[in-house]
Structure 1
């Protein structure tokens, strides 16, 4: 489904050292949604460092993929197509010849990214997908590794190295021992790692995503969403060492990794091992957004970049899928007033999560009533929203689940509960209880909630209905107010006139 009032679609073709990929987005925005995503693993960077040339078979495969992508862009009527090329085309002697033929096939100019430019765009990709990012971005491709420091909305000048997976494989003849030495020497003077201690390392690139996929499977992780997946540095280090010394084909979950990626896993593990030892981050956080999304982020205005990515994405889903998008704004204000009156000590992060819950709380209205709780839980937990960690994602999903399922913990047996703290689970129940009252009296339409405030007053939970809304007071409403009051430890009161 296209966004309401969306601009024309925009596509990026990324000619990388390992893969050639087409991603079509439904427009330029703070929270870009993908209409289409396809890749071909061509291995353009294989052998470049040892032969200085792009291999003929890899070139043929890449050019065929580009011809396919042009047909798809034409079929989707995508007029804005940006084509980016990275390390392989940059480093090979026959790179210019390949670029010229690729431009002829696509009918468009190709931007050949320098290493520093690639690092900058990778960093922008992380800024696009995380709220107040703080750490070092590492983008591991087939031909290179880029490192750059990010804080908030600022990016420092990054660096590039020849430590890509295919490059390491070529330089070492497949020797892990030699690769370890090259990596250690290559990162010895990596300036961005000097400032990494105690911060996040943002891992970008297919090889590290594959490594994280295996890590998820090994621990039976309950949420299969790659973006924002976080591994404590110690766990990531231990898992990297396991991959270094283990035949990855023996891992039970190896089928989740493409065969073309598997030979590069050991190099990705070696790199991550050395980065953790050298930089001592607090956690390794996976970013599914990189150069492509960074390129789009760069096209935004400064004002657009400052928009919260979580709330931008949730707002788009609200406009597309709720019964009346204007209702969410009233719901945010209504739940905010109650939160303040209850003295729940809401942190800035908790506030933005509550706002996201309000925006996403009506997505499942078309679903059969018996399945709305489970549908909304899955839909939100597995959505493409960004700007939130996995615990926050689970909290948002559970809050809407409680809206439909009721406030009993017995009914909330979802394994997503493993991702939230007791405080978050209690807040999800409270917010779910607020939603159950709000939707019952408003029918998801604007105009009612401002005339029916719900507040905490001393030991009481008081719902005040304006005179014209007196008929809303019934047994069903009383039951729901009682349910929320019980969770809060307060006395329920419904006042049917303005006090």
Structure 2
């Protein structure tokens, strides 16, 4: 049935929350619902430092415990305010290793009002790996989750998760063991990483997925040092040689001298050097093809685990784009028509479209009308802002730039000089031209269908006799005006052909 103009149907709201009691921070993340692409409703962390000095004293610090319990009581109230009944509480290395950990967990359960799952090292590694499976498209490599108290390493191949290993190499643990000396930490890290030989031996030529707040902070500083234009952590990738040079700088200099260090909390800055030491040793031993920063970890792994098998198999990028389409498009069914409509045209072009290019094109169709409520003069720029800054997963930064460009071209025209040089460089030559192609298709589709569903199936566009041809049925011949003809010719120029409109 055709959707009414202006009607939007969003997903049902069924919120849930996860409280993560880590060695360095205690965090609450509330989500709008359980889905393949969960959207955070609320996110708050308190840096308590529960794992500080646990390895030398064997106990959780009393002040850290007080701060953690206060945070948990606050989180309990926040969940009540948000009317969240499903709350999952996880505890990791600090509570696991301290002799007064059981007493703390009992007090913590009373404070937060929910049972706490104390994760074993292997379970923590498994959930971290599932978080990467949830957040990356067809991941292939080794996941490393660096917390305050421990490091977990586990192999991932698609949706398959290998056996993980855990080591006491978190930032707080190394700071404790070395008396505050990153130089001494190198020897400890090398010795412990021998236990991870099965994981590191498989890393060569594959991706290393870096999980954890300290490594995300290092990535943020790396972006600042490179004047990198897209301030999104998830999917940010670095070549190992470039990363090693940067890590050596972090280990040598005072953290206060690093560019953009103000973006890192003061409590985390002393841990940067230890995170650099651990990552440097992993890169030297494992020799990965790239380092990929993941914003998805234990919490997202738990959410993924809660999904049914069919939902797990869904593409997270397309799931998120579908939700945005349902919330923002004039007629969400039009995007589904666009996917089939562009499928036919692309199949007639010379040269194959890769599977990843196909999923990106489908995502561009789903996002093609998210800017329609903006002022006409700003729809292109508004769409770029939404897409480049959206909390998408299952996409790297070149793919994100492609999506932004494709929808921008839809509004502003497909002339190459119209594009942002920053986004053009980020997308790369191949994806830039694919974005122009999709933009050209969208520029034909919208003035012929007015963005409404169930129209495009009667207006096929294809290639015939060496031309791009839009076919219009005779009872709709009034649609075939000069504006549409100019758009078809514009699409033809993108693929190097003439264009015409044919009434049949």
Answer yes or no: same fold by TM over 0.5: yes
Contact 1:18 1:43 in 2 (8 A): yes
Return the match for 2:17 from 11, 36, 43: 11
Residue 234 (structure 1) shift: 1.1
**Structure 1 position 443 matched with structure 2 position 450:** yes
Q: How does 1:414-453 map to 2 (within 5 A)?
A: 414-453=421-460
Q: Secondary structure at the match of 2:204?
A: coil
Residue 336 (structure 1) shift: 0.9
Q: Secondary structure at the match of 1:336?
A: helix
Contact 1:341 1:457 in 2 (8 A): no
Aligned residue in 1 for 2:231: 224
Q: Secondary structure at the match of 2:451?
A: coil
Contact 1:3 1:316 in 2 (8 A): no
1:56-88 CA-to-partner distances (Å, cap 9, x unmatched) read 110011111111111100000000000000000
RMSD: 1.1
Aligned residue in 2 for 1:121: 127
Residue 344 (structure 1) shift: 4.1
CA distance in 2, matches of 1:210, 1:6: 34
**Structure 1 position 187 matched with structure 2 position 171:** no
CA distance in 1, matches of 2:350, 2:32: 41
Contact 1:3 1:26 in 2 (8 A): no
**Structure 1 position 46 matched with structure 2 position 52:** yes
1:9-43 CA-to-partner distances (Å, cap 9, x unmatched) read 01000000000000001111111111111100000
Q: How does 1:76-155 map to 2 (within 5 A)?
A: 76-155=82-161
Contact 2:91 2:118 in 1 (8 A): yes
Return the match for 1:175 from 171, 177, 181: 181
Residue 414 (structure 1) shift: 4.6
CA distance in 2, matches of 1:134, 1:335: 30
Aligned residue in 2 for 1:287: 294
Residue 8 (structure 1) shift: 1.1
**Structure 1 position 475 matched with structure 2 position 487:** no
CA distance in 1, matches of 2:496, 2:291: 40
What is the aligned residue count? 496
Q: Secondary structure at the match of 1:435?
A: helix
CA distance in 2, matches of 1:150, 1:458: 48
Return the match for 1:337 from 320, 339, 344: 344
Contact 2:333 2:454 in 1 (8 A): no
Contact 2:447 2:484 in 1 (8 A): yes
Residue 7 (structure 1) shift: 4.4
Residue 314 (structure 1) shift: 0.8
Contact 1:44 1:58 in 2 (8 A): yes
1:417-455 CA-to-partner distances (Å, cap 9, x unmatched) read 121121211111111010011011111111210101010
Residue 92 (structure 1) shift: 0.6
Contact 1:230 1:283 in 2 (8 A): yes
* Worse-superposed segment, 303-312 or 409-418: 409-418
**Structure 1 position 34 matched with structure 2 position 40:** yes
Moved over 6 A (4+): none
CA distance in 2, matches of 1:181, 1:248: 21
Contact 2:11 2:323 in 1 (8 A): no
Q: Secondary structure at the match of 2:266?
A: coil
Aligned residue in 2 for 1:365: 372
Aligned residue in 1 for 2:28: 22
Residue 3 (structure 1) shift: 8.1
Residue 415 (structure 1) shift: 1.4
Return the match for 2:77 from 71, 74, 85: 71
Unmatched 5+ residue regions in structure 2?
1-7
CA distance in 1, matches of 2:458, 2:253: 64
Aligned residue in 1 for 2:4: none
